[in-house]
Chain A
Amino acid sequence: MSDEKANLPAVTAEEDHGQVQVAEPIPDPGIEPHENRITDIDPKAADRVERQVATMFSLAGLLAVLACVGYFAIPRDSEVTVGPLTGNANNLTLGLCLGFGLFLIGAGAIQWAKKLMVDVEISEDRHPAYSSPEQKTEITEAFQVGVEESGFTRRKLIRRSLIGAMALLGLPAIVLLRDLGPAPGRKLFGTIWAEGIRVVNDVTLRPIKPSDLVVGQLVNGAPANLAAMQEDSPVEYQNAKAKAAVIMVRIPPAEIQVPPGRENWGIDGILCYSKICTHVGCPISLYEQTTHHVLCPCHQSTFDLADGAKVIFGPAARPLPQLPLAVDAEGYIVAQSGFHEPVGPSFFERG
């Protein structure tokens, strides 16, 4: 190894602007001689390429016109069917004409460059990126003259007050963004669920009786007071919905393991959980009846609804919050209270 090293030329890697030595052990033979293309020696071949290129350009022009004709001639809602595929005829015609037209212009130009334009490689010198010593001296001096003439280094008071002012100018730039949004306050802690609010089917908006649910069934639920919000404020409606969505399932009571303190939260095996994943807030939607698992389709967190909705797989860290249920005087399922913990993804102040 040491012998081998002795043979090698010293590498002055640390040196700035040092030269990289590549032309050893074999000297640079220079650019390879130019090889003629068929179009360089056979005028007929060159003429053939000229015709090819001109044909491509002409076709491109024709396609541009066809695109315009198609735009007006083909009704905007007419369909074309090719085997199992369907498409909008107007759209397809426009796209095909424009696509092939553009492509042909490009292909023609490249063919022209590759086959007809002179292809002799030429060399151009590089110049170093850095300034020459004279330039450096000149620039440094000019800069120093400016510094001297302004008194920037001598007049410390001006310098410091200017730097201070510029730094403080950053403050309003940040403060002005304050009204981007309200303070979070306690907004993430609560939902519109409260004592006595009926659980309704989130599509039909009908309240649900325990007898409406058969064992194994899952219903996407919403609080009864949600729908009315849409008229007043679509935003408040969406925000409330994003937190209040629930899933209600009926599981054979024998299979349920009730967490302590939640003994009276279900009704004959009917349990209600937040639909919003505790990971990043996707609505959970895939229910497997036999295992009572729900799976979040976003990141595959899996929760066991028969066991307090605890996480059995995936990136979620907390069980889905459970909504305590009761039955009102008319026999419909209602909430005993709101959720006992914030729903949805975690946040710093959650505790």
Chain B
Amino acid sequence: MATKEFPPPVKWADDRLGIGKIGKNNLRKVFPDHWSFMLGEIALYSFIILLLTGVFLTFWFKPSMAEVEYQGSYSLLKGLHMSEAYASTLDISFDVRGGLLMRQIHHWAAILFVASMMVHLLRTFFTGAFRKPRELNWVIGFAMLFLGIIEGFIGYGLPDDLLSGTGLRITQGMIQASPVIGTWLSFFIFGGEFPGDDMVSRFFTIHVLLIPGLILALVTAHLFLVVYHKHTQYPGPGRTQKNVIGYPLWPVYTAKAGGFFFVVFGITALMGALLQINPVWLYGPYNPAEVTAGSQPDWYMGWLEGSVRLMPGFESTFWGITLSWNLIIPALLIPPAFVTLVAAYPFIEQWITGDHRDHHLLDRPRNMPTRTGIGAAFITFYGLLWIGGGNDLIATHFGISLNNVTWFLRFAVFLGPVLAFWVTRRIAISLQRADNERLLHGLESGIIVRSPDGEYYEKHSPISKYEAYSLTARDRTLPLEIGPETDDNGVRAPRRALKKVRASLSRFYFADAVQKPTAAEIEEAHAHAHAAHGHEDDHHEAVEGVTGTVEVDDATAHKVVEH
């Protein structure tokens, strides 16, 4: 084989950096193809868009609460006293060409950033992509979501308009209500009493330096681990735990993923051009004695807002101290508990199932009915709190009593998740049964056939061997066994109680899940179908190892239902 030399600029770099070696491992790196794998890409690209548009905004934004008289071109606010932060936001919106566009792209991209991270997290959850060896990448991703939400909220606070000030006032009230350290914490964060004149400059540094820096570091780690572990793939023909099937990075994903960046940027730019967002000039400068009705935060803060809105007004006063349960519970206990559960989920599930094996093949959500149910319960809980965050708008838009909406939601946040869990799990189990039926008896063709004896039956067509394989390419995981109570010498096993809890959780986890059929069962279904009709249908091609023929008579159909 003739040796090839790099072109001069590449050679120059390779001599110094050895970039050829990086390319050797990665140019033809394979990524599996599925639409759900691009959700994380949207998050990555919107983060890049945020960095680009954010830098543009910093050229004009003045992170200062010094009071100035507005003299810009928005005539309705001319002559009004306001902070430099608000005045410079107006300048960006009215006097810098393209400034409003950049502001709106920045805001839309922020909303998209958090939304895509959240949907990406759900995809990862429902397909079990968080399992070993990827638990840490789940935690990293979760940390980015958490930071992204804080980042978004702080950014929303920077223009120092009436709406953002109201959001900060609420946050300050929550901080102030924290037990023991609340007032100190609030005075330290805001540099004294609220509003003070420090918050914008402090939040600006956090917003443009600290959190983006952290997110950038985490993005790097996240992507490094994706490359190192190689991407997960859905089960299917040829897809095993030991390979990854798909298209190469160079050129297919270079074009697809690179192109997708421009698609995301293009769409956010069109949104920035056409869809107005956060028109701060309509709200006016922040005034701690004013507020607008129907105040709403950006969507990702809605569930926290709802949590606070739904809580009844409990407060305890004793020994000269006040404990505001109406804030401690909905703002300081429930959200952290919720997010900790989400962040720790891979470890919790692993403990319950006792599964310490590597998983590179994804689960179809139906094949893990309990996990899918838990996910649905979490979504329902989150969603109901989110609805609670807009209880006033629901009441005014639908003409119903605000108090009734609130009371309904106070109960629904507890009952809804339980119902969602149960319904989702049953649906998943039914889907598993449907899969097994399809596997054992083929597809319903809709063609009714009369046999020479006068018997009617529906003709079933066989499924392809590829589909049959895809349907069965999953694990048979059984509940964890805890072993005997005592060993051979009659010594009681240690930590028996904990193990019992674990075993019962594991039984709950796998309860009612439908296992895929065994080879014997497939054989039997095959044989039964033949025996029932006593004829060989020659246009049914037998699928190796699967369903030879798939006509079903009533007896078999019955049997499947019972199964």
Contact = CB atoms under 8 A, between A and B. Distances in A.
B283 interface: no
Interface in B511-526: 515-522
A141 B521 CA distance: 53
Interface in A304-332: 311, 313-318
B187 A183 contact: yes
B179 interface: yes
Interface in A125-150: 125-126, 128-129
Interface string A165-186: 0000000000001001111100
B434 to A, nearest CB: 17
A283 B311 contact: no
Report the contact-size class of chain A (Cβ under 8 Å from the partner). Answer: 35 or more
Nearest to B317: A351
A110 B255 CA distance: 6
Nearest to B331: A280
Report the contact-size class of chain B (Cβ under 8 Å from the partner). Answer: 35 or more
A307 to B, nearest CB: 15
Interface string A275-291: 10001111101100000
Contacts of B290: 283, 285
B385 to A, nearest CB: 13
Nearest to A275: B289
Interface string A77-110: 1000000000010111011101111111111111
B309 A315 contact: yes
B407 to A, nearest CB: 9
Contact of A180 (B191, B267, B274): B191
Report which residue of B248, B261, B357, B477 has the largest number of chain A beta carbons within 10 angstroms of its beta carbon.
Answer: B357
Contacts of A337: none
B361 interface: yes
A21 to B, nearest CB: 7
A132 B318 CA distance: 61
A113 B256 contact: yes
B265 interface: yes
B213 interface: no
B522 A25 contact: yes
B301 to A, nearest CB: 12
B516 A106 contact: no
Nearest to B287: A241
Nearest to A244: B289
A91 B98 contact: yes
Given A107-B263, A181-B191, A315-B311, A11 B477 contact: yes
B322 A350 contact: yes
B273 A99 contact: yes
Interface stretch (A27-35, A43-51, A151-159, A261-269): A27-35
B289 A222 contact: yes
Contacts of A29: 237-238, 465-466, 469, 544
A351 B314 CA distance: 15
Interface in A232-253: 234-235, 238-239, 241-243, 245
A286 B293 contact: yes
Interface in B251-278: 251-253, 255-256, 258-274
Contact of B315 (A11, A300, A346): A346
Contact of A280 (B81, B170, B320): B170
B100 A281 contact: no
Report which residue of A15, A21, A238 has the largest number of chain B beta carbons within 10 angstroms of its beta carbon.
Answer: A238
Contacts of A14: 354, 356, 480
Interface string B306-322: 00111111110100111
Contacts of B560: none
Nearest to A351: B320
Contact of A94 (B101, B403, B473, B544): B101
A297 B476 contact: no
Contacts of A280: 169-170, 172-174, 177, 308, 327
B552 to A, nearest CB: 19
A26 B526 CA distance: 14
Contact of A114 (B97, B172, B181, B256): B256
Contacts of B191: 180-181
A42 interface: no
B346 interface: no
B182 interface: yes
A16 interface: yes
A23 B29 CA distance: 25
A317 B324 contact: yes
A28 B274 CA distance: 51
Interface stretch (B192-200, B214-222, B449-457, B530-538): B192-200
Interface stretch (B228-236, B336-344, B418-426): B228-236
A48 to B, nearest CB: 18
Interface stretch (B117-125, B144-152, B239-247): B239-247
B7 interface: no
B432 interface: no
Nearest to B195: A238
Contacts of A12: 357
Given A26-B468, A239-B192, A126 B230 contact: yes
B358 A17 contact: yes
Given A32-B466, A125-B242, A315-B326, A184 B519 contact: no
Contact of B270 (A77, A99, A297, A351): A99
Contacts of B181: 348
A5 B478 CA distance: 9
Interface in A1-23: 4-5, 7-9, 11-23
Given A220-B289, A281-B173, A297-B292, A20 B247 contact: no
B238 A94 contact: no
A243 B173 CA distance: 12
A97 B128 CA distance: 41
Nearest to B395: A300
A351 B322 contact: yes
A102 B269 contact: yes
Contacts of B94: 77
A76 interface: yes
B251 A281 contact: no
Contacts of B192: 181-182, 187, 239
B169 A348 contact: no
Contact of B170 (A92, A188, A298): A298
A106 B260 contact: yes
A109 B262 contact: yes
B12 to A, nearest CB: 28
Given A181-B191, A317-B315, A92 B246 contact: no
B89 interface: no
What 7 A-B pairs come out closest when comparing CB atoms? A95-B273, A280-B173, A103-B266, A109-B259, A106-B262, A317-B315, A31-B238
5 contacts: A13-B480, A113-B253, A234-B66, A238-B197, A300-B406
Given A103-B263, A106-B263, A124-B28, 5 more contacts: A8-B478, A25-B518, A26-B472, A181-B188, A242-B193
Interface of B: 28-30, 65-67, 73, 81, 94-95, 97-98, 100-101, 104-105, 133, 166, 169-170, 172-174, 176-184, 186-198, 228-230, 235, 237-238, 240-248, 251-253, 255-256, 258-274, 287-295, 305, 308-315, 317, 320-327, 330, 353-361, 391-392, 402-403, 406, 465-466, 468-469, 472-478, 480, 515-522, 544-546
